[in-house]
């Protein structure tokens, strides 16, 4: 069993924010692999199903980005998941726009959603960091991540989301280096 987690904020005006790219990934996985209808459970929107014979749960925490760990811990405790079976999709300022880096463990690097998950379940889980690039000009980081993607960026995010879902079988095997290179070379 695997748990896919997409980080974001649950308000309607946040839907297209840079910070919500994790939600976009989960929505695309749900649609492409015909996972169950989203149901409110464990302080999130939960779906289940099978992808290539692997039982998968996917959740979008409704606890807001900075409290994502609350939702994840409840789900892990209920289903008896190990943290090693968690794969989190989230935005990352330190990754070039439209690129991804998949890694196991590591520090939060200042990402509050990741820091929350670390606090509640530890650091022994996988992360797929989706590059949103750095802000240009004098915009504050917090303001930048809460801005909507512009039209060109939307096209880039749609492509990277497609590349991620097209390569999901590699991620199911937890081959993170191969997954990163495959997605980035499409």
The Cα diameter of the chain in Å comes to: 48
Rounded CA gap, 154 and 94, in Å? 19
| Tokens at 160, concatenated | 């990277």
| Tokens at 14, concatenated | 């946040």
Using CA atoms, how far residue 148 sits from 12, 16, 110, 145, 157, in Å, is 12, 5, 21, 8, 12
Rounded CA gap, 52 and 173, in Å? 11
Burial class (CB in 10 A: 0-12, 13-18, 19+), 151: exposed
Among candidate residues 3, 17, 19, 91, the one labeled active-site is 19
* 111 belongs to the catalytic site: no
* Residues acting as catalytic residues: 19
């Amino acid at each position: 069993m695997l748990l896919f987690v997409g980080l974001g904020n649950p308000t309607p005006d946040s839907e297209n924010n840079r910070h919500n790219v994790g939600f976009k990934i989960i929505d695309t996985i749900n649609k492409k692999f015909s996972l169950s209808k989203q149901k409110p459970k464990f302080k999130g929107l939960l779906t289940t199903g099978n992808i290539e014979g692997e039982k998968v749960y996917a959740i979008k925490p409704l606890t807001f980005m900075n409290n994502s760990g609350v939702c994840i811990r409840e789900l892990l405790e209920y289903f008896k998941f190990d943290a090693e079976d968690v794969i989190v999709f989230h935005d990352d300022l330190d990754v070039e726009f439209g690129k991804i880096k998949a890694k196991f463990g590591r520090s939060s690097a200042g990402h509050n959603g990741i820091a929350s998950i670390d606090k509640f379940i530890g650091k022994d889980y996988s992360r797929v960091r989706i590059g949103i690039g750095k802000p240009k000009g004098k915009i504050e980081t917090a303001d930048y991540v809460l801005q909507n993607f512009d039209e060109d960026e939307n096209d880039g995010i749609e492509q990277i989301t497609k590349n991620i879902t097209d390569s999901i079988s590699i991620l199911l095997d937890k081959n993170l280096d191969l997954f990163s290179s495959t997605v980035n070379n499409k």
